[in-house]
């Protein structure tokens, strides 16, 4: 605002000096009277920011007055700035309308001059002069307006691209975090679940001999070392920065390594039977990893919530690979509440006087009567609410028992892994004709991308 006022004062002073010097088109004109239209056009400069159209209105009024008392060159020069301001800062439609009016006035002035003088030379001179005075500021303002609009559109487009890039980056980060979470969960849960079960069972028993304790602690140490090795391998893979993508195969688990998973479950105290159907073959990397992790998580859930035995079936078909893990529900796993392993939490407890380990290092965890220590129980009883479960959990903690969280990320992670490779994974209780005990089954079917001929 203040700068516009200063420009208006400066324009008025310069115009007054030009008028005093004789910059008028009619000799004998009253120079003091010519200051009035000059002041009107300069007032248009003062209000150019607040009202571009008002600036043009004041300038037009000043030019009309100047035509009667002058005209004078300074007033016409200042008027071009009024036209420029209205075309640049006014509505875009008004700028186009103003260009049309300027062209019509230039033609009209030329025609009137030819009609009065009947000579084309003054007609051309007056028409060109009016055209330069009216059309030039309008076209200049329109070109500058177009450039500004293009620049604004480019900025908006750049901001939109930046927002989309940021959304893509966030989505990529979220997907990577989800993948890392699945991988870390599947990698660590198997080892740490066995560690928690065995160490808690040892701590809860006071009548164990040194040989039994040593056997269990050796299994705990082995699971700890293997878990740390797998975590170290994954951290090393994440730190790789060569972009080659070759380091993944060196640490990627394979479904062909199922025997090592089964052996690990046996060392943790389970009796596991592995059966392979079909001819094992090289699988796609994503399918190989998904099958391995699903098998690992299923065995971990069986160790935490199931009985002392499990059956594993790996079926290699022409177009897919099938992973099935069956384990009988532990006694008490299916109570009045209808809870089943993998859906509710399970606890591990040791009864007084019951042997912890019978046999060698590969024996199962159980008591003398054959009831497994690894049992699926309903927290808080059949009708307990949230507070009851919390209270029972605290009581179990005081008795030296451990609370193992149930089907949260485990079942969800298995289903996610199967879906990511275009397969399916189902988990639930199935009835068997050969046994009176209900069986918890995890079954995954993963496509291999090979179409049978």
Instruction: Kindly state the tokens that stand for 55.
Output: 């600036």
pLDDT > 60? residue 309: yes
Mean per-residue pLDDT, 378-396: 39
Q: Give start and end residues of each alpha helix (H) in 70-209.
A: 73-89, 92-117, 120-204
The pair of structure tokens assigned to 135 is 């059309």
> DSSP characters for 350-366?
--TT--SB-SSTTPPBB
pLDDT at residue 402 above 50? Answer: no
Residue 334 has pLDDT above 50, yes or no: no
User: Across all residues in the chain, what is the average pLDDT?
Assistant: 74
pLDDT for 165 beyond 50: yes
* pLDDT tens digits, one per residue of 12-68: 888 888 888 777 777 767 778 888 888 888 988 888 888 888 888 888 898 888 888
**pLDDT confidence of residue 433:** 56
Between residues 64 and 399, which one has the greater pLDDT? 64
Contacts of 168-173 with CB under 8 Å at 24 or more apart are: none
Q: What is the pLDDT of residue 437?
A: 73
Q: Under 8 Å CB-to-CB from 147, ≥6 apart: which residues? A: none
Residue 314 has pLDDT above 90, yes or no: yes
pLDDT at 387 over 50: no
Is the predicted pLDDT of residue 290 greater than 70, yes or no? yes
Instruction: Write down the pLDDT at residue 377.
Output: 34
Helix-helix angle 285-305:409-420, to 10 degrees: 160
Measured distance CA(202)–CA(339) in Å, rounded: 27
Is the pLDDT higher at 360 or at 132? 132
Share of the chain above pLDDT 70, in %: 75
As a residue count, the chain comes to 453
Mean pLDDT for 389-410 is 45
Tens of pLDDT, residue by residue over 420-445, are: 889 999 988 887 655 567 888 999 99
Cβ contacts of 173-179, under 8 Å, gap ≥ 24: 178/416
pLDDT in the model for residue 244 = 52
- Among the ranges given (155-159, 193-197, 267-271), the one the predictor scored with the smallest mean pLDDT: 193-197
Cα(45)–Cα(147) distance, integer angstroms: 23
What pTM value is reported for the model?
Answer: 0.44
Domains, the chain, in order of start with CATH, read: 2-162 (no CATH), 172-447 (3.30.565.10)
Under the banding of pLDDT at 50, 70 and 90, the label for residue 325 is very high
């Amino acid at each position: 605002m203040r700068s516009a006022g200063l420009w208006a004062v400066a324009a008025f002073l310069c115009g007054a000096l030009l008028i005093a010097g004789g910059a008028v088109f009619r000799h004998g004109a009253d120079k003091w009277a010519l200051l009035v239209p000059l002041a009107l056009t300069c007032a248009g400069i003062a209000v150019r920011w607040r009202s571009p159209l008002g600036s043009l209105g004041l300038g037009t009024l000043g030019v009309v007055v100047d035509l009667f008392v002058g005209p004078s060159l300074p007033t016409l020069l200042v008027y071009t700035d009024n036209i420029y301001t209205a075309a640049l800062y006014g509505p875009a439609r008004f700028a186009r309308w103003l260009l049309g009016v300027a062209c019509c006035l230039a033609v009209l002035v030329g025609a009137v001059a030819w009609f009065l003088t009947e000579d084309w030379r003054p007609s051309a001179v007056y028409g060109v002069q009016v055209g330069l005075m009216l059309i030039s500021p309008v076209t200049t303002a329109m070109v500058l307006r177009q450039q500004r609009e293009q620049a604004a559109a480019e900025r908006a487009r750049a901001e939109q691209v930046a927002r989309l890039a940021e959304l893509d980056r966030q989505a990529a980060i979220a997907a990577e975090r989800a993948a890392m979470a699945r991988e870390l969960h599947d990698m660590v849960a198997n080892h740490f679940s066995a560690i928690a079960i065995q160490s808690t069972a040892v701590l809860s028993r006071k009548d164990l001999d040194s040989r039994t304790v040593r056997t269990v602690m050796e299994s705990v140490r082995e699971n700890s070392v293997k878990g740390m090795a797998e975590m170290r391998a994954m951290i090393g893979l994440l730190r790789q920065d060569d972009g080659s993508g070759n380091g993944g195969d060196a640490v990627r688990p394979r479904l062909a390594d199922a025997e090592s998973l089964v052996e690990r479950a046996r060392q943790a105290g389970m009796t596991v039977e592995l059966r392979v159907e079909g001819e094992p073959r090289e699988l796609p990397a994503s399918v190989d990893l998904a099958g391995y992790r699903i098998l690992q998580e299923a065995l971990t859930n069986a160790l935490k919530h199931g009985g002392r035995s499990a059956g594993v079936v790996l079926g290699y078909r022409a177009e897919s690979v099938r992973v099935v893990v069956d384990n009988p529900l532990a006694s008490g796993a299916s109570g009045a509440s209808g809870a089943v392993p993998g859906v509710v939490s399970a606890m591990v407890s040791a009864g007084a006087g019951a042997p912890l380990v019978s046999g060698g290092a590969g024996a199962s965890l159980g008591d003398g009567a054959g009831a497994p220590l690894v049992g699926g129980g309903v927290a808080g009883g059949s009708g307990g609410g949230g507070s009851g479960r919390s209270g029972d959990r605290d009581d179990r903690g005081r008795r030296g028992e451990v609370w193992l969280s149930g089907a949260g990320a485990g079942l969800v992670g298995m289903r996610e892994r199967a879906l990511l490779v275009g397969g399916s994974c189902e988990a639930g209780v199935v009835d068997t004709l050969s046994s009176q005990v209900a069986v918890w089954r995890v079954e995954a079917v993963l496509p291999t991308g090979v179409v049978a001929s």
